[in-house]
Amino acid sequence: MMVAKKSVKFIAVLVLFLTSVSSFAKDSAQDDNHHGAGDQVDSPEEIKEYIAHHLKDSHDFHLYTNNKTGSHVSFPLPVIVWTSEGLRVFMSSEFHHDDSGSVIVEKDGVKLTKIHSKIYELESGATQVNFDDEHHATNASRVLDFSITKSVFGMLLAGLLMLLGFGALAKGYKKGAIPTGFGRVLEPLVIYVRDEIARPNIGEKKYRKFMGFLLTVFFFIWILNLLGLTPLGFNVTGQIAVTACLAIFTMIIYLVSGSKDFWQHTLWMPGVPVVLRPILAVIELVGFVLIKPFSLLVRLFANITAGHFVVMSLIALMITLKVSFGPVVSTGMSLVLSLFIMVIEILVAFLQAFIFTMLSSLFIGMAVEEHDHH
């Protein structure tokens, strides 16, 4: 039975990896922002540029490009922008996958274009975008962008999966003490977060108050990390804006929930000379308001982005080493190394969710801890 389970896990990882390689190979055949149909991404500089572009957020869900025909396999996402004339809503397909500012979309008298994944509004009377020597638009300004981008779509998908999963778990508990169906998969993870993260760091008396947040953060990050390993191309937790928001939520919770002892030790630390107390107060405030949230957001952002970059770089070895070692050897090296890193990334997906949740619970526990007074 154990051998069968291990075989199933290995096959699942292998299928996931091969589909990722297939998606990358098809997609890297043409970088639609810098190359025309038939132009191969085959130099180290082009590969680095392509990977960096692939890791960014986008307004459409681009799966791959047919190198022979130049046609894109993708589906559009809603573009929602606030312009000088008010709200404008349309589908991203109207930009025709252009990211250079050459396609102008006119909506109710407002001309919009997309430059480096950012949407701009052209000045009145302008018919095209003018650029300076550094390729900055001189006759267009940024708009407030509320679009459903690929990262937003990924977060909505993760939220939907969490609602379905925890809904099944709740229904299972209604039937008895032991949940049935998919809920039995989630129950050990919920107990793990409770017994190994929340209770030891926050304390037996107060951990229940924060379980909702800790469970949400853990499963939200974990699911998004796993989605990032699929050929869908998600890199949500590799967007620094997302990790910053998660860190800010943690900061707000432990600052608002801080006990009287916490604020006393932070703002007017007892047991030290009065002259040093204001200096220590500034240091403590900087630590809780800036350093701790910054460490949370950078750790998650850097690890996930680096993991994706390494996986895609190893897959690209089949292109860069083809001339030196031949297509068979270069492809074999790429497959073996990439499969190994992909297995490591599955572990990292869980590990980063665990670390973020662990540190969040640790910071909350420091804030709500009641000190003994002698």
What's the start-to-end Cα distance of the chain, in Å?
58
Same-domain pairing of 87 and 135: yes
Give the separation between CA 92 and CA 80, rounded to whole angstroms: 10
- Which of 147, 165, 187 is the endpoint of a domain? 147
Residues 289 and 231 in one domain: yes
* 244 vs 300: CA distance, rounded Å: 10
Reduced to 3 states (helix: H, G, I; strand: E, B; else coil), residue 69 is coil
Residue ranges of the chain with pLDDT lower than 70?
1-44, 64-72, 323-330, 371-374
Q: For the purposes of burial, counting CB atoms within 10 Å of the CB of 316, is it exposed (0-12), middle (13-18) or buried (19 or more)?
A: buried
**pLDDT score at 64:** 66
Q: Give the CA diameter of the chain.
A: 79
Domain-embedded: residue 221? yes
Backbone angles phi, psi at 291, to 5 degrees: -65, -45
Same domain, yes or no: 93 and 224: no
How far apart, in whole angstroms, are the C-alpha atoms of residue 289 and residue 291?
Answer: 6
Residue 225 shares a structural domain with residue 268: yes
Place of tokens 């590799």: 238
Structural domain contains residue 55:
no
60 lies in a domain? no
pLDDT given for residue 200 in this prediction? 93
**Burial class, 282, CB count within 10 angstroms (exposed 0-12 / middle 13-18 / buried 19+):** exposed
pLDDT at position 41 is 59
Q: Which residue intervals of 28-90 are DSSP H helices? A: 44-55
Q: Are residues 237 and 325 in the same domain?
A: yes
pTM: 0.82
- 41 domain-assigned: no
Q: Domain check: are 210 and 272 in the same one?
A: yes
Backbone dihedral region for residue 145 (phi beyond 0: left; psi -120 to 50: alpha; all else: beta): beta
What is the DSSP-derived secondary structure letter of residue 81? Answer: E
Instruction: Of 214, 188, 212, 239, give the one whose Cα is nearest residue 356.
Output: 214
Q: Which of 8, 60, 74, 67 is nearest to 36 (CA)?
A: 67
Residue whose C-alpha is closest to residue 243's, from 148, 149, 356: 356
- Give the number of other CB atoms < 10 A from CB of residue 182: 15
Q: Is residue 24 part of a domain?
A: no
Does residue 81 contact residue 144 with C-beta atoms inside 8 Å?
yes
- Distance of alpha carbon 225 from alpha carbon 353, whole angstroms: 8
* Tokens of residue 73, six digits: 């396999």
Among 147, 163, 184, give the residue marking a domain's end.
147
* Nearest CA among 56, 102, 60 for reference residue 79: 60
Q: Can you give the residue range of the structural domain that contains 115? A: 78-147
Which tokens hold the place of 149? 């981008």
My answer on whether 314 and 334 are in the same domain is yes
14 DSSP assignment: H
Give the torsion sign (CA, 200, 205, 208, 210).
negative
Distance, CA of 367 to CA of 198 (rounded, Å): 14
Q: Report if residue 337 sits inside a domain.
A: yes
The answer as to whether 308 is a domain residue is: yes
Same domain for 356 and 313? yes
81 and 145 Cβ atoms separated by less than 8 Å: yes
- Where is the domain boundary, 95, 123, 147? 147
Same-domain check for residues 246 and 275: yes
Q: Are residues 244 and 279 in the same domain?
A: yes
165 and 136 belong to one structural domain: no
Domain co-membership, 176 together with 324: yes
**How many structural domains is the chain composed of?**
2
Does a structural domain hold residue 345?
yes
The span from the CA of 358 to the CA of 352, in Å, is 10
